[in-house]
Chains A and B, each alone.
Chain A
């Protein structure tokens, strides 16, 4: 660490405190209710998608960001091209029939 670095360094304790407060608020809540809302949401959303296309579990990306005021859950599902085309074909048939 250079001499200049030493003086421009920001205190890190407040960062530690804030991170802990957010994390523990979440951990206490999830342990208290014994269910992890994020896990439940993820399962149910994937089940719905699974009704229409075959979901490859290895190609599902789940990102969670636990924040102080709100959390975000991001689920990325890769849908195989075959499934998209098949659906499009079905749509066209349905359109012609009507």
Chain B
């Protein structure tokens, strides 16, 4: 039975696309079939983060408007056989993303894949509400920072009222993915702790992704971080999160990055 998962946050820049790419790759590495779907019409970025930007021919809007078949728009990942990407349109008007069109595409993707991961745009407009509409599971990406937590709370409210599951009277499964976490700053009391965020949002924790230079390196390369440097702290944290999504019990570790001698010596970096 296919699972439709939405990666959402409300606030922009917290790591939705990075997390979509990493979770998608981590799930696909286990041999499950995965498609990652970009819902950010006009500002697509999942293609570039996944390193598929030069292979985009058709996009979701082309499929919705009948200009291309779904199979023609899907791009097969070159590194993982079971991973595909469905890009958003970069040029079309957002209004071309229709509710019926999205419903049709999600239904078709459910037939073809075990995981359909929808990368939501920031905000609470049409793209974001359509990305979450058909979801069975939601991953709420949050930074330990007031504006991100507030927006996540708003998104949780929408997930509980506006999605198809909510309208059927069912409760959508929600998970918190805490990104850009800095254990040292949290310990010093200068960053919200995991427990603080969990207490405020009261949804279960899927994983803690540490702030790390590896994440930017991965997007520079167009390779999900779980593939670019599998031993790095964020890569391990994403792999663990993916295993939890598959229902496995994996102990939660608060990841601390291995620090170089110089970083240890001078501790505080100029942010």
Q: Which residues does A use to contact B, with CB under 8 Å?
A: 11-14, 16-17, 19-21, 23-24, 27-28, 31
Contact = CB atoms under 8 A, between A and B. Distances in A.
A13 B200 contact: no
Contacts of A19: 146
Interface of B: 145-146, 149-150, 153-154, 157, 186, 188-193, 196, 199-200
B46 to A, nearest CB: 30
Contacts of A16: 145-146, 192, 196
Contacts of B196: 13, 16-17
Contact of A28 (B146, B157, B190): B157
Contacts of A21: 200
B186 A13 contact: yes
Contact of B189 (A13, A20, A23, A24): A13
A24 B192 contact: no
Nearest to A10: B189
Contacts of B145: 16
B189 A11 contact: yes
A77 B157 CA distance: 36
23 contacts: A11-B188, A11-B189, A11-B190, A12-B189, A13-B191, A13-B192, A13-B193, A13-B196, A14-B189, A16-B145, A16-B192, A16-B196, A17-B196, A19-B146, A20-B149, A20-B200, A21-B200, A23-B150, A24-B150, A24-B200, A27-B150, A28-B157, A31-B157
B154 A27 contact: yes
B153 A24 contact: yes
Nearest to A32: B157
A28 B153 contact: yes
B191 A20 contact: no
